């Protein structure tokens, strides 16, 4: 029997990515939409990790189930690590990412080659019905692209360039991106911990 695993998001792109990364051999991965939960959670933490914990605890308390939540974002050193924890809300939650990406590129138009360091960060929290919390973090380093490129991925992928791959993460096929992505790293670390716990039960 599969272990039910609620992931506290309504972002279908994110859920698809999570299902591809984790597979569904051991876990039945459900989104908030799948369990018909609509809730606005005040993500008032000051770090990715704090926000992930806030979301996971809120949904765990509503459902009584084990819940995973992530908080992830894009950091650009030239912009003092903006948009950071405000990545999803940058220029407004409903603003298309094409607009967000163009705005970031415009703000960084004077950044030199050595000033375009950027990264994706993902923190994942697991809230258990017993009240304990477990977290993992994944980071992938790269740089801000000169212009958007690629049709895969979502969010800031078109402007995140990985020099060692010679492309943006939006130019990578999902199965290739998931191997090296910040979310993939954090998720695999979390699953290792969960498997250890479940195997001991």
What is the distance between the alpha carbons of residues 161 and 146, in angstroms, rounded to a whole number?
A: 9
Beta-bridged to residue 134, according to DSSP, are 126
**Quick one: which of 74, 59, 72 has its CA closest to 138?**
72
Backbone angles phi, psi at 178, to 5 degrees: -65, -25
The verdict on whether 71 is a catalytic residue reads yes
Q: Provide the 10 A C-beta neighbour count for residue 104.
A: 22
At what angle are helices 12-22 and 182-200 packed, to 10 degrees? 60
Catalytic residue (one of 71, 103, 164, 199): 71
**Quick one: which of 10, 123, 126, 122 has its CA closest to 67?**
126
CA 57 to chain centre: 17
By annotation, the residues acting in catalysis are 71
């Amino acid at each position: 029997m599969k272990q039910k695993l609620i992931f506290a998001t309504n972002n279908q792109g994110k859920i698809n990515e999570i299902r591809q990364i984790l597979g569904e051999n051991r876990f039945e991965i459900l989104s908030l939409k799948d369990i018909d939960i609509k809730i606005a959670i005040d993500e008032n933490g000051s770090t990715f990790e704090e926000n992930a914990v806030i979301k996971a605890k809120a949904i765990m308390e509503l459902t009584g189930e084990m819940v995973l939540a992530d908080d992830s974002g894009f950091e650009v050193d030239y912009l003092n690590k903006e948009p950071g924890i405000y990545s999803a809300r940058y220029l407004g939650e409903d603003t298309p990412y094409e607009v967000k990406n163009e705005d970031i590129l415009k703000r960084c138009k004077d950044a030199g080659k050595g000033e375009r360091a950027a990264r994706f960060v993902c923190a994942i929290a697991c809230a258990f019905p017993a009240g304990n919390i477990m977290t993992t973090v994944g980071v992938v380093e790269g740089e801000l692209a000169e212009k958007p490129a690629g049709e895969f991925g979502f969010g800031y992928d078109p402007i995140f360039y990985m020099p060692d791959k010679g492309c943006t993460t939006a130019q990578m096929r999902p199965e290739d991106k998931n191997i090296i992505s910040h979310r993939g790293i954090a998720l695999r670390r979390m699953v290792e911990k969960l498997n250890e716990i479940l195997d001991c039960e």
